[in-house]
Amino acid sequence: MYTSFNLIRKDLFNGVISCTQLVEFYLDNAQKHQHLNALLEIYAEEAVAKAKAIDLKIAAGKAGKLAGMVVTIKDVFCYENHKLQCSSKILGDFESQFTATCIQRLLSEDAIIIGRTNCDEFAMGSSNENSAIGPVKNGIDERKVPGGSSGGAAVSVQMNMCLLALGSDTGGSVRQPAAFCGVIGLKPTYSRISRHGLTAYASSFDCVGLFSKDTDSISAALEVMAGADDFDSTVSKRASPIIAQNRNNTSKYRFAFIRETLESDGISKEIKQAVQRQIEILRKQGHQVESIDFPLLEKILPTYYILTWAEASSNLSRYDGVRYGYRSKNTSNIDSLYKKTRTEGFGTEVKRRIMLGTFVLSASYYDAYYAKAQKVRKLIRDQTRKILKKYDFILTPTTPSTAFNLGEHTSDPLEMYLADLFTVQASVAGLPAISLPCGKDSKGLPIGLQVMADDFDEGKLLEFSDYFLNLEK
């Protein structure tokens, strides 16, 4: 079994394995683990045909940079002539009319997409239980959630159904499931990758994220996907990052860890111990690790939810049953068409966020909630970046607990929202962050360490991640 893209490339070009054999291996695993409900569709015939074509390219010396990379995509990405449902009833059997920029760039370098993964409806959730197609199960313990909203993507990597998975990260939707499933999950800097073709939840937060078990895959895919795009006015025009993996890295890093994250009553004892253990290991390796205070910590979660609810209310207004997707049959006029279609088509959590977003945008409450949250957002970003001028990275746990039971928090939205407690800071600030596996609890459930860096420091973040994962502990 291959867990490194570099090893795959080496064997592919030395004739040890073919691209067709690789695809068949991943397809076999996808079929074997269908009961986990991670993949909504498997593009078997299409993937095998593409693999055979790439084998011919390899033989001719014309293969792209990503030949040998087998990918799944979260059900929020447009892929021409393929279904796009956002794991929601309201889109029905809609098929995308174009391909997202990030996916087109992968395909152009000979990556192979083998399936579409389940997620929380419109990427709204922290457990992948809000899907209209049913919850995803964690492959380590099927009684547990995989995290959300990109739970299906995380499980597809966890159970070797692909080498790399694309997810979306608005407030932790890649990093949190990565922690729950014991894989690597990267949220790049906001604007690093074009959002063209990524279904909008909260447009000023949404990021294309990546899952894998190795940093080679993430580095290679990020370099291909990043960069300017005429279809997205918000994407950075910076050149793609050139990420040289330095496995013999001797750099001594400066780390800050936020004291309140380890002293919070809401964090599990075993996660606290695991993170403290990693801190001590880093210190023994000669790195500087210091405790800092972040007074705005308790403001981050409410700021995040106020702003994302508002943006969701606006973005999801386009789903009205008129032009595409689901349309209620029990209507008598245009008003009832809108109301009944949206009532029947959206799930409970999506409706909750739309209504709360509409509330905070209303004339009576706009200044009290939305405008104030925007001001606090800037304070959070400025304060976080100030820390990163002194330190290379900020360390926190990725999640306050390990994977919880299916159904455990569904009756209490606040408990579910608290699962994002540590991931939302990077999202509010627009900064890159990665979740790295850092041990397991007494039940064998994975624990994640979150590492946050300054704007466009993905190269340094991945270099450290490679060092950390290869560190003898």
Q: Which residues are catalytic?
A: 74, 149, 173
Query: Is 375 exposed, middle or buried (CB count within 10 Å of its CB: 0-12, 13-18, 19+)?
Result: exposed
Strands 112-117 and 39-42: antiparallel
As a whole number of angstroms, the distance between CA 152 and CA 2 comes to 20
Nearest to 160 by CA among 26, 360, 12: 26
- In 1-74, which ranges are E strands? 39-42, 70-74
Nearest-10 crossing angle of helices 215-225, 5-13:
80
* Spatial separation of the C-alpha atoms in residues 338 and 345, rounded to whole Å: 10
DSSP conformation class of 310 = H
Contacts of 59 (CB under 8 A, 6+ apart): none
Strands 254-258 and 393-397: parallel
Residues 6+ apart with CB under 8 A from 426: 175, 187, 432, 433, 450, 452
In what helix (H) or strand (E) does residue 284 lie, and over which residues does it extend? Answer: helix 269-284
**DSSP class of 308:** H
Can you give the length of the chain in residues?
473
List the alpha helices (DSSP H) in 204-257: 215-225
What counts of helices (H) and strands (E) characterise the chain?
16, 11
Sheet holding 393-397, edge to edge: 39-42, 112-117, 70-74, 164-169, 207-212, 184-187, 433-440, 446-452, 393-397, 254-258, 288-292
Q: Give the C-alpha separation, 448 to 396, whole Å.
A: 9
Answer left, alpha or beta for residue 147, where phi above 0 means left and psi between -120 and 50 means alpha.
Answer: left
Q: How many of the other CB atoms lie within 10 Å of CB of 368?
A: 10
Q: Is 463 exposed, middle or buried (0-12, 13-18, 19+ CB in 10 A)?
A: buried
* Residues linked to residue 208 through DSSP beta bridges, in sequence order: 168
